[in-house]
Amino acid sequence: MVSFIHSIESLSIWVGRAFGWCILILTFGVSYEVFVRYVLNAPTVWSFDMMIQMYGALFLMAGPYTLAQDAHVRGDVIYRLLSVKTQARIDFILYVLFFFPGMLALFWYGAEIAKDSWRYAEVSWNSPARIQIYFFKTLIPLAGFLMIVQGLAEILRCWKAMREGVWLERLEDVRETEDILLATDAAKDKT
């Protein structure tokens, strides 16, 4: 079961890293547009649309990665005081009642939206550039599917924690700077 959970997490981490490059594309796009708009006085018609598409792709595809890293916002004022088994039970119930129905809806209706968009070869009507957007709409059901898959890993993680009373360690990717500083301070305090 652990290898299955970690293989799903590896997939989510890989997808998150791959789509993380959208940040670089987005940064270059914004920088280019600012330069040509304010320095050369020659704004583009496509740059704003490209920025919206990159941000949307990044937002959608970062969801499974964020879930795999347990980095979604959580109101844990009381939750963190509970035992691991109780936390796992709460998470399990919330995944079944809220997460999976929401992600199934995202996948199902996103697939319908993407299918229609491909059929019509949809373009952006809000843009003078009329960029094609059907391939970006395909990311909606893809993100829903990847969230469901990562949700299965989270359910198994909860099941394991309910039985053993300890959370399974997550695959480590990147860490927040404050976490690194806290770990460094804790290591200094021990010496």
pLDDT over 80 (residue 179)? no
- Find which of 31-35, 51-55, 167-171, 181-185 is predicted with most confidence, using mean pLDDT: 31-35
Q: Which residues, listed in sequence order, are joined to residue 132 by a DSSP beta bridge? A: 123
Query: Longest Cα pair distance anywhere in the chain, in angstroms?
Result: 66
165-177 per-position pLDDT tens digit: 998 888 877 667 7
CA distance 143 to 153: 15
Structure tokens belonging to residue 52: 């919206």
Q: Are the CB atoms for 105 and 53 separated by under 8 Å?
A: no
**The whole model's pTM is what?**
0.84
Q: Nearest-CA neighbor of 90 among 99, 68, 172? A: 99
Structure tokens belonging to residue 103: 């992600």
Q: Residue 139 corresponds to which amino acid?
A: L
106-164 per-position pLDDT tens digit: 999 999 999 999 999 888 777 777 788 888 899 999 999 999 999 999 999 999 999 99
Q: Measuring CA to CA, how many Å separate 139 from each of 55, 107, 181, 185?
A: 12, 10, 36, 41
Domain ranges of the chain: 2-69+77-170
